[in-house]
Homo-oligomer: A and B are copies of this chain.
Amino acid sequence: MERVAIIGGSMTQFGQREDWIVDLLSEAGLACLEDAGVEASALDHLYVSNMASGEFEGQTGVMNALAHDIDAMPAYTQRIDQTSSSGGAGIYAAWQSIASGASEMTMLVGGEKMTHRTTGESTDVIASLTHPAEYKHGVTLPSFAGLTARHYLERFDAPRESLAKVAVKNHKNGVDNPHAQFQKEVDLETVLESPIVADPLRLYDFCPITDGSAALLFCPESVAREYTDEYAVIAGIDGATDTHVVHEREDPTVMGGVVESGEGAYEMSGYGPDDIDVAELHDMFTILEFLQMEGLGFAEQGKAWKLVEEGYTDRDGELPINTSGGLKSKGHPLGASGVAQGVEIYEQLVDEAGPRQVEADVGLCCNVGGFGNCVITTIMEAGQ
């Protein structure tokens, strides 16, 4: 079977935007087509990763509106929802569309418009993904994160500062991402003295509420070569669920979906953790970066915090993580985030990451839905 290539990527400015969701999707989609030098009329499939435009804006059918707006008709279109991992699910769907022969050119556009709602309203929309058995007790994703962080720090004797260092690192990376919501450094003290949200986690341990969109363009490798010499290919991809009721998990520091999807992606690609040169992890909360590093085999259980403290995951470290700034400083427009992870790895592999560029032949993204309820891991390599 022919390999699936990525020949274009784009993201809009993330942050507080006045546009409605379809304008955001169109902006990213058109920029992606322009980046690749492909006309909208060449699209066979057009996928939209979006969790909740109906809940946030009272607007559904956004994939059809997008096809109309960018003049992609009669391209087939569909909306993909896997909560906060909708973008990763979109990459998986786009890969399947090409690998199955259903499409020769698929554009994936992820996006969400959230900031017109209050933080409480947005948190409540997101919390609607949790199991009612937990939701009725007032559980939200931030509260899961707080409980898990407390457990991790005590069990593995990790200092509170190590979590804060994830935020410091990712904010530092975000300074060089012109599309990031926050392009400013924060110091350890600022993180550690910010208001408590879910003890022990504080404001700067959390990603912000964000509007934005991101896009990727997929085709068979033979078609990619007609357009460019600079492309990436998907070497491995897999997705997996864990219990939907979070408290049923045996070990709160192990995200089964991360482990399973990572193993699937490694097996398909033939690569292992040591082969990964750069990674985008889903740092919706700082603690998640530790859990993914361990679940994906970058660190032993309970040891990820040490690698972060040692600078191993800094941009000039052994394994740079979240060179884009991560969800933490780049922002987290739900449906866009997994796509934007892919855009960063794509740009790193085709040497278009500008001041964020690192040496990389193989990159990985891990997109976490809910609190690990479903996770998609994608491994890309530079095309030849």
On A, residues with C-beta under 8 Å from B are 1, 20, 46, 51-52, 54-55, 58-61, 63-65, 67-69, 72-83, 89, 92-93, 95-102, 125, 128-132, 238-245, 256-257, 260-261, 369-370, 373-374, 376
Q: Is the CB of A241 within 8 A of B73?
A: yes
What CA separation (Å) do A128 and B46 show in the bound complex?
A: 20
Identify 23 residue pairs between A and B in the complex whose beta-carbon atoms are under 8 Å apart, listed by A's number.
A51-B60, A54-B55, A54-B128, A59-B128, A59-B132, A64-B241, A64-B369, A64-B374, A68-B243, A72-B241, A73-B242, A74-B241, A74-B256, A74-B260, A75-B241, A76-B92, A76-B374, A77-B82, A77-B239, A78-B80, A78-B93, A93-B96, A99-B101
Report if A79-B77 is in contact (Cβ < 8 Å); known contacts: A61-B130, A96-B96, A130-B61.
no
What CA separation (Å) do A89 and B77 show in the bound complex?
A: 9
Q: Is the CB of A68 within 8 A of B245?
A: yes
What CA separation (Å) do A287 and B77 show in the bound complex?
A: 24
Q: Is the CB of B244 within 8 A of A74?
A: no
Given contacts A77-B241, A99-B102, 12 further A-B contacts (CB under 8 A): A54-B54, A55-B55, A61-B373, A64-B83, A64-B241, A64-B369, A76-B374, A77-B374, A80-B81, A93-B93, A95-B102, A99-B99
Of B59, B74, B261, which contacts A240 at CB under 8 A?
B74
Q: Smallest CB–CB gap between A1 and chain B, Å?
A: 7
What CA separation (Å) do A65 and B101 show in the bound complex?
A: 31
Q: Is the CB of A83 within 8 A of B60?
A: yes
With a CB–CB cut-off of 8 A, which chain B residues contact A241?
Answer: 46, 64, 67-68, 72-77
What CA separation (Å) do A67 and B131 show in the bound complex?
A: 12
What CA separation (Å) do A58 and B129 show in the bound complex?
A: 9
With a CB–CB cut-off of 8 A, which chain B residues contact A96?
Answer: 93, 96-97, 100, 102
Q: Is the CB of B76 within 8 A of A79?
A: no
Q: Smallest CB–CB gap between A369 and chain B, Å?
A: 7
With a CB–CB cut-off of 8 A, which chain B residues contact A58?
Answer: 128
Q: Smallest CB–CB gap between A7 and chain B, Å?
A: 19
With a CB–CB cut-off of 8 A, which chain B residues contact A80?
Answer: 78-81
What CA separation (Å) do A54 and B129 show in the bound complex?
A: 9
With a CB–CB cut-off of 8 A, which chain B residues contact A78?
Answer: 80-82, 89, 92-93, 239, 374
